[in-house]
Chain A
């Protein structure tokens, strides 16, 4: 709990049905989320290492700041 993992990597995932294109995720995590012409997020597909603490922190901000709670952080790979 509250431990920042240093191994493995993560991707942000959006539920496109819930997403209404508020664009908060782009504001909060610009390095991970790009935005299309209609305001919907285009999320970076290749995984970011958990060691990149700044990116992880902004991903967490994006997840918490999403008005529709459509975002989640997903671990990639099976490293514990």
Chain B
């Protein structure tokens, strides 16, 4: 049994290759099927690790109240964020823990099938999951059936309704869901979508219990989380930390720049925080005060010499290209925002007006898409305008900051694909 107050939990015994089923059983022990999984999950206070931070217990309870015998559990390891590596790192380290968690969730809601979704651009991870599935035969006839699915990789394809829409033999496009909370369905069967890291945490809670789980982390956000640190680092890192660890400590462990000008929390639809805030503990209740959240556990570090407006422009441009082009405000608005930002970066003739236009357009677009993709971009731009106020003034005064003339960029932005080359199914 793993010690409760020691890390790593999720990445226990992580090495170059994934743990085999034998090693996994040895390290973690077998699951006691008589455990009151739902009660333990409620007491543990686990929140979803996919970005929204919704309490997992509530979701599971809602799904367990649904009728039907063909329910699904979907493990979301799509990793839409280019700055995030945690789901794939987790599946590379310990796929069986994720699968155990998914089986427990299936047990709780009475699901017959589990779908693990890994985007098809990650052949190594797909192989690891395939091997893990091959190692474990179905434990009993009543146990759920596990299948591996490989949707195309798109930023919005990891969004839960897009993922479920894809599993339902359609394109991986986000759907309009006016009622909240919504129950997503494949055919007529209710679906529980959970992030891979959430499933792994459920796997731990089901084994060792809620009180064991609560020994790390803070009162309102217990447990540990995986953090992907990118940007001004030697090498992109995935670290497991207890929630409530100061951000600065995380940066130190990752070997990142500990005196950054800003950090981007929560991914490309997240919030910029100025460098003075890195003393804050990495837990939602503390980050909420500065308008940020833990999100999917992404920290992008921007050093002092880089230009924040430039990075924001690059991210926005890519995000605009990754829009599903279903809703007008997103399809037309995001490229327009990128254009305004480009005017600011390049110091075009009407840079003053482009700033006003940018703020006006951002306010207009906010909250008008079917999914949260445009809202995320708007939030990122808004916080960037606050945090990089000094850079911004320089750009407007016609003296672009030094960073924008640099050729080194810090935000990882994948290749821009042409619109006709975007694969959705």
Q: Give the B-binding residues of A (Cβ under 8 A).
A: 13, 15-21, 36-40, 42, 74
Complex Cα distance A78/B333, Å?
A: 35
Q: Is the CB of A40 within 8 A of B368?
A: yes
Complex Cα distance A38/B328, Å?
A: 8
Chain A: CB-nearest residue to B357: A37
Measured CB to CB, the closest approach of chain B to A64, in angstroms, equals 19
Find the residue from B327, B328, B329, B370 having the highest chain A CB count within 10 A.
B328
Q: Is the CB of A13 within 8 A of B178?
A: yes
Complex Cα distance A15/B368, Å?
A: 9
Measured CB to CB, the closest approach of chain A to B236, in angstroms, equals 35
> Which residues of chain A come closer than 8 Å to B328, judged between CB atoms?
16, 19-21, 36, 38-40
**Chain A proximity mask over B310-336: 1 for CB below 8 Å, otherwise 0:** 000000000000000011111011001
Chain A: CB-nearest residue to B174: A17
Q: Is the CB of A16 within 8 A of B364?
A: no
> Which residues of chain B come closer than 8 Å to A18, judged between CB atoms?
176
B175 close to chain A: CB less than 8 A: yes
Q: Is the CB of B176 within 8 A of A15?
A: yes
Q: Is the CB of A16 within 8 A of B332?
A: no
13 new A-B contacts at CB < 8 Å, known A16-B326, A16-B327, A17-B370: A16-B176, A16-B369, A16-B370, A17-B327, A19-B328, A21-B328, A36-B328, A36-B329, A36-B364, A40-B327, A42-B364, A42-B368, A74-B178
Q: Is the CB of B326 within 8 A of A17?
A: yes
Measured CB to CB, the closest approach of chain A to B268, in angstroms, equals 21
Q: Is the CB of A17 within 8 A of B175?
A: yes
> Which residues of chain A come closer than 8 Å to B370, judged between CB atoms?
15-17
Q: Is the CB of B329 within 8 A of A40?
A: yes
Complex Cα distance A19/B332, Å?
A: 13
> Which residues of chain B come closer than 8 Å to A40, judged between CB atoms?
327-329, 332, 368
- 10 A-B residue pairings within 8 Å (CB atoms): A13-B178, A16-B326, A16-B327, A16-B328, A16-B368, A17-B176, A36-B333, A36-B364, A38-B328, A40-B368
Complex Cα distance A19/B190, Å?
A: 27
Report whether over half of chain A's contact residues are helix, strand or loop; otherwise say mixed: loop
> Which residues of chain A come closer than 8 Å to B326, judged between CB atoms?
16-17
Q: Provided the pairs A36-B364, A38-B332, A42-B368 are in contact, do residues A19 and B178 lie with their beta carbons within 8 angstroms?
A: no
Complex Cα distance A73/B368, Å?
A: 17
Q: Is the CB of A19 within 8 A of B327?
A: yes
Complex Cα distance A74/B180, Å?
A: 14
Measured CB to CB, the closest approach of chain A to B60, in angstroms, equals 27
Measured CB to CB, the closest approach of chain B to A26, in angstroms, equals 13
> Which residues of chain A come closer than 8 Å to B368, judged between CB atoms?
16, 40, 42
Chain B: CB-nearest residue to A40: B328
**Chain A proximity mask over B355-370: 1 for CB below 8 Å, otherwise 0:** 0000001001000111
> Which residues of chain A come closer than 8 Å to B333, judged between CB atoms?
36, 38
Chain B: CB-nearest residue to A72: B178
Chain A: CB-nearest residue to B332: A38
Measured CB to CB, the closest approach of chain A to B363, in angstroms, equals 10
Find the residue from A17, A18, A20, A38 having the highest chain B CB count within 10 A.
A17
Chain A: CB-nearest residue to B173: A17
Chain B: CB-nearest residue to A15: B176
The 9 closest A-B pairs by CB, nearest first: A16-B327, A40-B328, A38-B332, A17-B326, A15-B176, A17-B176, A17-B370, A21-B328, A16-B370
> Which residues of chain A come closer than 8 Å to B329, judged between CB atoms?
16, 36, 38, 40
> Which residues of chain A come closer than 8 Å to B364, judged between CB atoms?
36, 42
> Which residues of chain B come closer than 8 Å to A74, judged between CB atoms?
178
Complex Cα distance A18/B328, Å?
A: 10
Chain A: CB-nearest residue to B369: A16
> Which residues of chain B come closer than 8 Å to A42, judged between CB atoms?
364, 368
Chain B: CB-nearest residue to A18: B176
Measured CB to CB, the closest approach of chain A to B174, in angstroms, equals 8
Complex Cα distance A42/B364, Å?
A: 8
Beta-carbon contacts under 8 Å, B151-202 to A: 175-176, 178
Complex Cα distance A18/B369, Å?
A: 11
Complex Cα distance A37/B175, Å?
A: 24
Chain A: CB-nearest residue to B364: A36
Complex Cα distance A13/B178, Å?
A: 9
Complex Cα distance A13/B180, Å?
A: 14
Complex Cα distance A39/B333, Å?
A: 11
